[in-house]
Chain A
Amino acid sequence: MSTIIGGQVLRDMVNDWIGDGKRVGGPGYVGNHLILYRWLHRSDELLLESYPRPHNSIKEFLFPSHEKLYHYKIDGQHIELSEAVLPDAQQIIFAARPCDAASLPILDHVFNWDYRDVFYNRRRSLTTVVTLACQDHDAHCFCTSVGGGPDDERGSDAMLFALGQDQYEVRCFTDKGKALFEGKLEESTRVGKVGPGPERRLDLETVREFLKTDFESPLWERQTLRCIGCGACAYNCPTCHCFDITDEKVGSAGVRMRSWDSCQMAMFTVHASGHNPRSRQPQRQRQRIYHKFEIYPSKFGEILCTGCGNCSRVCPVGLGITPVLTAIQEEQAARAGTGAAQEAGREKVDQ
């Protein structure tokens, strides 16, 4: 037994939500070729099929690229502070990909483990996430290598499965998901398809072993020299969450802002003294891999990667996580020396 829904009903629901003053975020075209997650104004902007995934992530609906923290006004010796207005409109993230939704449990933890981030939490509490199971993938996707998959349920309140002819099976996982689709679903026996997902190509254990022992390996220089040090990968990554805090003022009044920051930028670790412990690009690239695959997992048991592939998709010079991890894997294989070791590696992965 399953529950299904028609594409037009979905679009009408989206229109109703927008009409009710709720915010709906989902994939839409920018220009002729580029698909990005954006706040939708009309349901016909929504895309439901025939593309691998948008080039950005849904984190911007919960952790936007810039956010006001509080306002201040200086009047002589007196400083007046006022809280930023937190959003209160319900948000539905619609037609996200499983690899995007899978980042939410990670971000939930990041923004709550030692300090409860009131901004993230407010948005999170207002948000319902409806994912769309993947039918295709492209050469950049690698969710299956990091414990995910085309129908990974982590982070989703409900998931849509394409049935063809603009019909979708709906599976609701949480109360929020159920409440969203209340009264809209039809009973059915049809079960939606799921694409096979990308072939597993990375063995994280192998990678982690390398990371534990090879901090100074020449591999870092060799593999990452072409990185130009922008923030494209970090800003489009579902799990990257670093931010910078700046004060922006005009005259004597201003606002404290939080904006995204990228560890690949040259000034990310500049100290007030002027010293920069990561002054070279390979050091910064290395740090990114370590943070995601060794340091964070060591502390919190999860890797900071859902295998969405956006990093290499958007990288202007064809870098991103996968080329580096692939190189590490090959290095490890070469060290093991024999094909048998590679076989063993593959067996381990299959288990």
Chain B
Amino acid sequence: MARIGVFICWCGENISRHVDVEKLAEQCAHLPGVRCCLTYKYMCSEPGQNLIREKIREERLNGMVVASCSPHMHLKTFRKAAEAEGLNPYLVEMANIREHCSWVHHDVKAATAKAADLIRMAVAKVRRNHALSPIRVPLTKRALVIGGGVAGIQAALDIADAGHEVVLVEREPSIGGKMAGLSETFPTLDCSQCILTPRMVEVGQHPNIRLYTYSDVEAVEGYVGNFSVTIRKRARYVDISKCTGCGACWNACPNKKTPSEFDFGMGKRSAIYVPFPQAVPARPVIDANACTMLTKGKCGLCAKKCAAGAINFKDQDELITEKVGAIVVATGYKLWDIGKEQENAKLAGYGEYGYGTYKDVINSLQFERLVSASGPTGGELRRPSDGAVPKTVVFISCVGSRDNAKGMSYCSKICCMYNAKHTMLYKHKVHDGQAHVFYMDIRAGGKNYDEFVRRAIEQDGAQYHRGRVSKITEENGKLIVRGVDTLAGEPVTIEADLVVLATAMRPADGVETLAQKLNVGYDEYGFLSESHPKLRPVETNAAGVFVCGACQGPKDIPESVAQASAAAGKVQVMFSREEITREPEIASIDERMCAACFTCVRACPYNAIERAEIRDRAGRLIKRTARVNPGLCMGCGTCVAVCPSKSAELEGFTEQQVYAMVESLG
């Protein structure tokens, strides 16, 4: 027997302004199954909740409808009130007569009639609700952090400091990411490595952090609280437990011609190398493609010089399984490669600027290495072609960013700030140099950011031209930069010694493959998708997987660090309990009806459905069925849609409920 209570909120005058709530209450009192129907000014307030609780008690309600605002606001509130009075919280429905009614309709008669319809549907629905319990899933209190840049480091330290084990996987030979290669950071002009390396060392030494460098995430199985991750530790050919980092090997290596990845091609490294002196771990790897011992079987000088006997040319990749409960993705970014060859058909190159053709047209990360004290030129700014000190440098903003024609319509956020920084670093090194910046807008929204840009212009004499550059050509060792200054209304041509392109930030290579392994979505550019852009910026729609840093979207260091701590905070909320509870409004499959065609298993975006067997006591197979894993299902309803026999249903949104709602409208 249905005993439904209907509670209609005035919401001050938000609802009552356009919906005649008293009349509405009179109408709804007569709906089939309704025991009581009343109104109150602010149902979500404490007296309002007490009113609900009183009615649950008095009328022995077995279901209730609160007609008020959107469930996003107060569904939890009313569920808690019901639960406190012994009514299962999932026997509570809301009819949105505010956002869906009083806020968008102004004709009182029509709005009241619509509100009556909404309540009628909600009553028809709640009569068929099932009492549900939150799903409890066991939890492994260890976290995986993918990516050892500043975001990954911050997240790993926060979680590790909270007392939980962290597995940190980084695909380069050292952690540190892009920040380790920067010269100075805005807006303080702190030396980037000086502020980062203490953190890196902490990670390397932290008792709670298990660090895998030169490693990739190969496969992820399982579900929130119970992931099983396979990590491929690539062959280093150096046993880091024996190696002391003395450097005899890389000094002895005869092959010193390989372009350095860390220097973005601005410098060279040897075949056995440590990417930079402050690397963590400070142990070398052998580049198997450059090492003559590994390619041709000749040399082996490093092994001969190694006092610790740490070189092992027979090393193999190793696959390791780690069990974790949460995953934080912090894979960072790369700069867009503006050559002709693009990674997908939607992108187009930037031939106009001569990058790749003219040696002295470089990108901003390459510039960072040229001015960095630990860089290939020892901190002296020398241009790549002839090593001369450039007297005129042109910085070009928005190369690829904000450009539909190139397939990237977003703003890369950091370039305005680092262009200003670059002009200042340049001026500090080449006192008689002149920096030019071609820009479209200046985006300097952070704390002390605008002041920083003004300083570059007013104190360090950077010349800013509002306009774009159409073409760069080379004549007699000079780069002819043809642009425009729209504020002056004239074309501008500059003969530059060096051109630095602020190319667009893109997510790091391989992020799409990784996202598919994690069942995390990504946008058309490859940036990983957060659950909600405003309210849930570090969660993803894959339960237990969080994102932080530039992999989620272009951002600078303070934001990356903030997001990393946020993600770590989410992980700690998860780990603060002994088990995970999840909302039970997920799919369920009627195992008697299921034809075991397993279309749902294929269609499920979260791999949340398993193939199961039903056996009798003697172990004989009775039938096969699909079965939803309650730890993983996100309640998207795809299985319900594809099931041909309609054996799959969503709790809280069953077919019977939906049909009842439609039919209640007459």
Contact = CB atoms under 8 A, between A and B. Distances in A.
Instruction: Judge A-B direct contact (beta carbons within 8 Å).
Output: yes
Interface of A: 76-77, 249-252
A251 B666 contact: yes
Contacts of B663: 249-252
A251 B663 CA distance: 4
B32 A77 contact: yes
Sorted from nearest, which 7 A-B pairs have the closest CB atoms?
A251-B666, A252-B666, A251-B663, A76-B30, A252-B663, A251-B665, A249-B663
A44 to B, nearest CB: 44
Nearest to B592: A274
A202 B512 CA distance: 74
Contacts of B665: 251
Question: Interface majority SS on A: helix, strand, loop or mixed?
Answer: loop
Contacts of B30: 76-77
Given A249-B663, A251-B663, A252-B663, 8 more contacts: A76-B30, A76-B32, A77-B30, A77-B32, A250-B663, A251-B665, A251-B666, A252-B666
A251 B117 CA distance: 13
Nearest to A76: B30
B127 to A, nearest CB: 15
Contacts of A76: 30, 32
A252 B30 CA distance: 16
Interface string B652-666: 000000000001011
Nearest to A250: B663
Nearest to B663: A251
A72 to B, nearest CB: 14
Contacts of A251: 663, 665-666
Contacts of A250: 663
Contacts of A252: 663, 666
11 contacts: A76-B30, A76-B32, A77-B30, A77-B32, A249-B663, A250-B663, A251-B663, A251-B665, A251-B666, A252-B663, A252-B666
Interface in B1-47: 30, 32
A337 to B, nearest CB: 41
Nearest to B30: A76
Contacts of A249: 663
A235 B32 CA distance: 41
Nearest to A249: B663
A249 B666 CA distance: 10
Nearest to A254: B663
Nearest to A251: B666
Nearest to A253: B666
Interface string B629-666: 00000000000000000000000000000000001011
Query: On chain B, which size bracket covers the interface?
Result: under 10
B202 to A, nearest CB: 63
Interface in B294-321: none
Most chain A beta-carbon contacts within 10 A, residue among B32, B663, B665: B663
Contacts of B32: 76-77
Interface in B56-74: none
A77 B30 CA distance: 9
A38 to B, nearest CB: 33
A266 to B, nearest CB: 13
A123 B32 CA distance: 40
A277 to B, nearest CB: 18
B62 to A, nearest CB: 20
A59 to B, nearest CB: 32
Contacts of A77: 30, 32
A237 to B, nearest CB: 29
Interface in B190-246: none
B117 to A, nearest CB: 12
Contacts of B666: 251-252
B362 to A, nearest CB: 71
A250 B665 CA distance: 10
B157 to A, nearest CB: 58
A238 to B, nearest CB: 34
A293 to B, nearest CB: 35
B605 to A, nearest CB: 33
A249 B30 CA distance: 22
B633 to A, nearest CB: 26
A76 B27 CA distance: 11
B593 to A, nearest CB: 11
Interface in B69-110: none
A249 B32 CA distance: 18
A76 B665 CA distance: 12
A74 to B, nearest CB: 9
A16 B292 CA distance: 105
B626 to A, nearest CB: 20
Nearest to B662: A251
B103 to A, nearest CB: 28
B2 to A, nearest CB: 14
B53 to A, nearest CB: 29
A267 B30 CA distance: 39
A229 B228 CA distance: 48
A202 B665 CA distance: 60
A251 B32 CA distance: 15
A252 B663 CA distance: 7
Interface string B161-183: 00000000000000000000000
Nearest to A75: B666
Nearest to B665: A251
Interface string B467-495: 00000000000000000000000000000
A161 to B, nearest CB: 53
A270 to B, nearest CB: 12
A249 B662 CA distance: 12
A249 B659 CA distance: 11
| Among B30, B32, B665, B666: residue with most chain A CB under 10 A | B666
A275 to B, nearest CB: 13
Nearest to A73: B666
A76 to B, nearest CB: 6
A136 B507 CA distance: 82
B592 to A, nearest CB: 8
Interface in B121-180: none
A252 to B, nearest CB: 5
A238 B336 CA distance: 78
B661 to A, nearest CB: 12
A250 B659 CA distance: 10
A252 B666 CA distance: 5
A255 to B, nearest CB: 15
Nearest to A77: B32
A251 B120 CA distance: 13
A156 B328 CA distance: 85
A79 to B, nearest CB: 12
B35 to A, nearest CB: 15
A139 to B, nearest CB: 38
B595 to A, nearest CB: 13
A76 B666 CA distance: 11
A321 to B, nearest CB: 32
Nearest to A274: B592
Nearest to A252: B666
A76 B32 CA distance: 7
A246 to B, nearest CB: 15
A14 B30 CA distance: 58
Interface string B527-554: 0000000000000000000000000000
B523 to A, nearest CB: 42
A221 to B, nearest CB: 21
A36 to B, nearest CB: 31
B381 to A, nearest CB: 78
B635 to A, nearest CB: 28
A327 B30 CA distance: 65
A78 to B, nearest CB: 11
A251 B665 CA distance: 7
A250 B32 CA distance: 18
A31 to B, nearest CB: 30
B268 to A, nearest CB: 76
